[in-house]
Chain A
Amino acid sequence: MATIAGWQKIDEACIVPALEQAGEKLDCAAGEVVLDFSSVRRVDQGVLQAMEELASVAAEKGVRVVLCGVNVHIYRVLKLMKLTSRFSFLS
């Protein structure tokens, strides 16, 4: 059972820096990091790119990235981008 080592609230005003920050902290994460998307209403190309990069780094380091509070519109965008399989989701 993984220990939840990191939890980070994502602010809609600065999603990309927050994702980058999360990426930097992956080394410290004990197997899992949780990103709270509940205040994010929409994502753009920059966010999608940052998420792809985060997913790649996390996979390399064997860290599971859990997204919580993702609204269904964003979930659909992630689906269209074929990114859902690279993250875990929590309601």
Chain B
Amino acid sequence: MITDEAVEERGRVSPATEGLTAERIAYLERLVSQARTAAAVFSQFTQDEVDRVVKPMVLAGLEQAQYLARLAVEETRLGVMEDKVIKNMVATEFAYHYVKDKRTVGVIREYPERNLVEVAEPIGVILSLTPITNPTSTVLFKCIMAIKTRNAVIFSPHPKAWNCCSEAVKIMLETAVKHGAPEGVFGCLESHTLQDNAYLMRHKDVALIDATGGPGAVKAAYSSGKPALGVGPGNTPVYLEKSADLSTAVVDIIISKTFDNGTICASEQTVVIDDVIYDLTLKKFAELGAHICNEKETKLLAQTVIDPQTGFMQPMAVGQKATSIARFIGLSVKPKTKLLIVPIQGVGREHPLSVEKLFPVLAVYRAKSVEEALRVCVDVNHAGGLGHTAVIFSRNDEIIRKFGEVINAGRIIINSPGSIGALGAVYNDLVPTFAFGCGTGGGNSTTDNVNIYHYLNIKRLARRTQAHMWFRVPNQIYFNLNAVENVRQFPSRSTIIVTNPALERIGHVDIVRRYIPPETHVHLSVIPDTEPETKVVSETVEALKFYKADQIIALGGGSVIDAAKIMKLKYESPEADLEELAAPFLDLRKRVVEYPTAKVNRARLIAIPTTSGTGSEVTPFAVLTDKQRRRKVTLADYSLSPDVAIVDPQFVMSMPKGLTADTGIDCLTHALEAGVSNYASPYTDSNAMQAIRMVFKYLPVAYEHPGDEEARSMMHNAACIAAMAFSNASVGVNHALAHAFGARFGIAHGRANALMLPHVIAYNAAVPTKFMPSPYQKGYVAHKKYATVADLLGLGGRTVEEKVSKLIAATEQLLDQLEFPRSIAALGISKEEFERTVPELAKTAYDDPSWRSNPRMPLMAELIELFWQAYHGRGPAEASGAPQQAG
């Protein structure tokens, strides 16, 4: 038995105790234990109970927004108190507006049309690292998210923002507990060290790390081996395109870049300005309180606010006012200067001010063309801001779209301030957040604005869908003696009859011509009576074009009708690539390659079969031989089905005995395989069962008495009916084996089928070694369907097993009546030769698409076993070690 402890041990990462005293570890363990218990208790809460806690927390946050903002500024010495108030309010009010009506407990979403239901599962204990730049707002936001999702959080604030953060946690905790949340649902690390974080990040009871902070914290989170939500650094490029509303753009940029002294990592860093508006833009910036630095001032700033060693911004400048920065470096600016603007000539280490600057220093770049502007924006984006945020001001939709394509940013803000825009829900409909996912570009797992859904495990209840099935056959089928007369009802200006030499010789073509309206120009295409070749098809297609044919009459066996199907396809859609159309597929409706629907010509295809077996007159299949490449191309698509089928027994009265037997057993195999196929439906079953009954009754008569009109007629109908079944339910492993064996030893298809048939019935009736996944069937029913066949044939038997045995015996008896060789050995193939060939035969059979609809998934070893059974020809009932019958 696998115990909880063993499972836990398997997923455990080794604890990081280095540098921690025993007392400290005990303290951290208490913190986690408290959170774990709270999370466990919280998991019992209903949606109403959760929502009753959330609202008062939001109100408390709003109430204390100014107090917490003041604390944050006093402690961190970063940013602007008034802006931090706004941040705290956005973090509470806007977050609440987003989450208030969202379901986060139990069933959260239902998709009835897809039979899918989503159920929320809390995560448990979350370790949350919060930054110095947005300390209290981040805490407020995460507390609300955690309560809404029934999680417990241990906060690890930035050490220089601990007081304000712990105060925010305290306010949230007190309010939450007062309104019903479990005690200990929030905890806050006291005066922590990196070792504390390392210990907690690897703690077995911490389920998720949510790291909003500097690159070091994010990297540590991702390196811990625990699931983590980390957000990367930004370097927001802004493209100020010439069509933009310049006045709005300049104000928006100033609002954004000066908001909380530029501490939001989504704030603008470099504005790339089109040449024609560059000077005017700088003028407007200056008018609104920006100081445009000259070359010397820019150089001075670069040397002081950017660390020459690392190339990153100096911490002392972060979150400071423009005037403070100016004063610090000895720059003379007006007292109310909001922003320092620094023109740069490029991006990268040679241009230090092109990196992220979380203070009111904004780089500007003059671009001579759209292409140049986009290129520079891409450079800025790649200089430390991948996946984060980008901004464009433009009224040109094409350029906006192009910007969206070339910039890698989770948030691309259009015609609005970057920092507040990225926070969401103020200037746009982005989800409100205080954690920006930066995707893989930023080393993160998401590009989303992190929100409640990232604090949930979402479980999906996927009900079994009722798979759509189909039954498609030509809409006109004429049958019985002289059905060929119906040809006359189809008007045609130019008809080509495709047939083979023998049928022309014995006068079948003349019979057809008799019923073609006199005004029709009739031409003949006589093709060899073998599987159609590409060359023959191409020649006839040329003839169709030349005569501008509007009708093709295919008179012949499966080969001729298959050829005509492909001719029609190439005539109507010359661009059709047969190689491509023959690409393998698992499900016809999900196939990769689609058959052409555009047609340059149109021709009706009338199929008149002259054998009773393939059923090609109604099937959507065609096989073509590519002699040059020495391979067969199998095409399958309902667009290949003939438009009209004429099943007239007068064309089969002269079939020789051998061909009668071969084609008749082919028909029986079609019906039996369609009957147990995974694609079988009541529609195909009715056809399959009827065809089986007709074959058992009339095939021996047609074989013994070739002139028996009724038997011939019924067998001709049976072939067509069986084909309707397998056109929709497909065939199975018998065909896969017969194709491989027949092709290798030059054995007629029906004969090859006959050699395999009794063994395949026994194989499919047994308990499968491997079941075939199929959404179309419920349970394993092949053996029961064989038993139904036995009942239909009146074979007797009490149990399913007995009935299957009787069906196999009846099949064997039929094969004997038809004088089939009953083993491969009887064909004169030596055991040695067969032994050499069998592995290759099994591989070929395995590659054959026919078995994909077989009820039982054939294993390679089983294919080999089936080949050997056919070689020896022992009846399956006699075979030693026969598999146990399915129950």
Contact = CB atoms under 8 A, between A and B. Distances in A.
Contacts of A77: 40-41, 43-44
Given A42-B44, A44-B182, A45-B184, A80 B4 contact: no
B124 interface: yes
A48 B42 CA distance: 12
B124 A80 contact: yes
Contacts, number: 39
A3 to B, nearest CB: 27
Interface string A65-91: 000000001101101111011000000
Interface in A6-64: 42-45, 48-49
B41 A44 contact: yes
Contacts of B44: 42-43, 73-74, 77
B5 interface: yes
B5 A45 contact: no
A49 B37 CA distance: 9
A80 B182 contact: no
Given A79-B4, A84-B4, A85-B3, A45 B182 contact: yes
A48 B5 contact: no
B183 interface: yes
Contacts of A76: 43
B49 to A, nearest CB: 10
Interface in B1-37: 3-5, 8, 36-37
Contacts of A49: 37
A82 B7 CA distance: 12
Classify the secondary structure of B's interface with A: helix
Contact of A85 (B5, B39, B40, B124): B5
A34 B356 CA distance: 65
B818 interface: no
B2 to A, nearest CB: 12
A69 to B, nearest CB: 16
A48 B33 CA distance: 12
B50 to A, nearest CB: 14
A48 B3 CA distance: 21
Contacts of B184: 45
B36 A80 contact: yes
Contacts of A73: 43-44
B4 A81 contact: no
A80 B4 CA distance: 10
B38 interface: yes
A76 B41 CA distance: 10
A48 B36 CA distance: 11
A50 to B, nearest CB: 12
A82 B4 CA distance: 8
A44 B42 CA distance: 9
Given A80-B36, A80-B124, A81-B36, A45 B41 contact: yes
Nearest to B8: A82
A81 B40 contact: yes
A77 B44 CA distance: 8
A85 B124 CA distance: 20
Given A80-B43, A80-B124, A45 B37 contact: yes
B4 A45 contact: no
Contacts of A45: 37-38, 41, 182-184
User: Can you list the 3 inter-chain pairs with the closest CB atoms, starting with the nearest?
Assistant: A80-B40, A77-B40, A42-B44
Given A43-B41, A77-B41, 15 more contacts: A45-B37, A45-B38, A45-B182, A48-B37, A73-B43, A74-B44, A77-B43, A77-B44, A80-B39, A80-B124, A81-B36, A82-B4, A82-B5, A82-B8, A84-B4
28 contacts: A42-B44, A43-B44, A44-B182, A45-B37, A45-B38, A45-B182, A45-B183, A45-B184, A48-B37, A48-B40, A49-B37, A73-B43, A73-B44, A74-B44, A77-B40, A79-B4, A80-B36, A80-B39, A80-B40, A80-B43, A81-B37, A81-B40, A82-B4, A82-B5, A82-B8, A84-B4, A85-B3, A85-B4
